[in-house]
Amino acid sequence: MLDTHFLVGTSFSSYDTGSYARVFVNQERLRAIKVFYRGKNRAHLVEVFESEFNAYELVQSAPDLVGMTPRFYGCPSISGVVDRNGSDVSQLYELDLAIELDFVPERFDKITEYGERGVEACRAFEKQGIHYTRDASAAVRIDGSLRLIDFATHWVEPFHDD
């Protein structure tokens, strides 16, 4: 079970977790903030973050892609993270490695589940310099179009702590 964490001074609470980050959501504002976990190799985390952040920046300059992703708000300022008891757990996170997006309350599946539609979406991203969509997830919108998350400008090899 996911321990509940909160972003200090906000109404954002933990919603989901991934390999590199935890997603915090403000249900009232329909916003999500993805905050990267602290790790042993900060340079690696920065590279992963920058690859994702830069991909969202590229989307903003591509009118045909803007509608295929949640709205991007940049890098928010996070002052800290606490658990449900109010204890500071900020040391678990890289507070400066965060991305704020619209929260999309839809079911997301890996892009590979969408067959040719997924392939076409990935090609559109590739044309804009977003070369890593293999781990992307997509949701089907009411109009039948896809909305993608978890893409990056390039693949970053996972860091192994051997």
Residue 1 has pLDDT above 60, yes or no: no
Name the band, by pLDDT with cuts 50, 70 and 90, for residue 98. Answer: very high
- The CA distances from residue 38 to 6, 35, 76, 84, 119, in Å, are 16, 9, 17, 20, 33
Q: Give the H or E element holding residue 149.
A: strand 146-149
What average pLDDT does the segment 89-94 reach? 98
The model's pLDDT over 99-154, given as tens digits with 9 standing for 90+, comes to: 999 999 889 999 999 999 999 999 999 999 999 999 999 999 888 889 999 999 99
> 17 - beta bridge partners?
22
d(C-alpha 89, C-alpha 24), whole Å: 14
Q: How far, rounded to the nearest angstrom, does the alpha carbon of residue 113 sit from its chain's CA centroid?
A: 19
Residue 162 has pLDDT above 50, yes or no: no
Q: What is the mean pLDDT of the chain?
A: 93
d(C-alpha 147, C-alpha 141), whole Å: 7
Q: Are 138 and 108 in contact (CB under 8 A)?
A: yes
d(C-alpha 25, C-alpha 102), whole Å: 9
Q: Are 25 and 51 in contact (CB under 8 A)?
A: no
